Amino acid sequence: MDYTICELFAGVGGFRVGFEKSSPEWKTVWANQWEPSKKVQHAFECYKKHFQNAGGVNEFSNKDVAEVPTENIPEHTLLVGGFPCQDYSVASTGAKGIQGKKGVLWWEIERILEAKRPPFVLLENVDRLLKSPSKQRGRDFGIIISCFAKLGYSVEWRVINAAEYGFQQRRRRTFIFAVHNTTKYYSKLENKNVYEEIQNSGFFSSIFNVETFNEESIKSIDLKEKYNLDIVEVSDKFKFEFKNSGICKNGVIYTVETKPCNILTEKQITLKDILEIKVDEKYILSENDLEKWSYMKGPKAIERTSKEGHKYVFREGAIAFPDPIDRPARTMLTSEASKNRSTHVVSDIETGKLRLLTPLECERINGFPDNWTNTGMTHSFRYFCMGNALVVNLIEHMGRKLHEIIKLES
């Protein structure tokens, strides 16, 4: 078995950067990045600039993935991608079977999985995926797991906050690892009990340690027994409280709340560790703006009126102003380039003046090499790309573990 990767929704290449840092043997054989409604495909151009001489980019790499025939996607050992959290519900369409909503990208992943059946899959999504939609908690993730199970995969997931393992951003994301039941890795795991797998021998728990938990706190639901793995049934009726860790094998979901322990770095990486010493004056806040920033960051109690005419008080708590640099950064959003409540403001190391983060610092917060996005895209889009990115440090550790697993498959 080789170390080939197919990368979907590639962005500026976070998965690829992490995997190639973990081992030079990883080879991305195909990658897709397409931003709808964008005339200039900045993220794709950034990806291509860094990787075009390493292979893996073909004529379909900058098209809507829905338009890519699966026969044009090379065989691969590992499928990766950070896909958006959408409405994954399906409907019955008579003789045609089931159909999800148009444009929902999970169904493109499922289409490729059905055609290619890669032995391993690693996906990333926002942490709210486990609870969506609000009116039928857990349905969307239940659909995803059911799809995997029907295709012969077992699944493990973990919500990981990068800062809790020593890295430089308090960013919580759901990671999903799926392994096909024909692999040696699955055969090895089949002999492990559920508690052992979630506690220390699973994919995530063997990398990102968790505190010992009570075996009796594991909750379960049998998708085969209750829904017969029928995706329409799951879509219509499934409701379940997923915790931050869990597995699904033989059609049974097991989940439990875990707490992280043992950081993976020598010491906790903080904002101070990644800040530049000298920055351009344009990042310094003007005296005229300080009052506006203080208001945005401060606590509020504002009386508002709903569409129905009902009066209510909108409240929000204060955000630290400036951001403490002796801690990891807050979660970076795509709005980082704007004058926004969530935008980071720090005290400049050299002058003590309040300032914004530079694009280079935003890259460091996600673990990218310096000036990774300095490829001709606009200044504001560099921030946008980092707001969409994952923390590369986590992927590097996952890449090392997956390299060990695939080595044992041969």
Kindly list the catalytic residues. Answer: 85
Residue 162: both structure tokens together: 């990068």
The torsion angle over the Cα atoms of residues 70, 75, 77 and 80, rounded to 10 degrees, is -30
The Cβ of residue 252 has, within 10 Å, a number of other Cβ atoms equal to 16
The span from the CA of 202 to the CA of 194, in Å, is 9
Neighbours of 123 (CB within 10 A): 23
CA distance 174 to 124: 6
Tokens 């148009």 belong to which residue? 102
* DSSP conformation class of 37: T
d(CA 238, CA 145): 12
**What residues does 215 pair with on adjacent strands?**
none
Choose among 16, 140, 22, 34: nearest CA to 80.
16
Contact 382, 370 (CB under 8 A): no
Cα 409 to chain center, whole Å? 26
Pairing of strands 78-82, 120-126: parallel
Instruction: From residue 239, give the alpha-carbon distance in Å to each of 85, 117, 250.
Output: 17, 28, 19
Structure tokens at 245: 């860790």
- Count how many residues are written for the chain: 410
- Are 153 and 120 within 8 A, CB to CB? no
**Which amino acid type is present at position 21?**
K
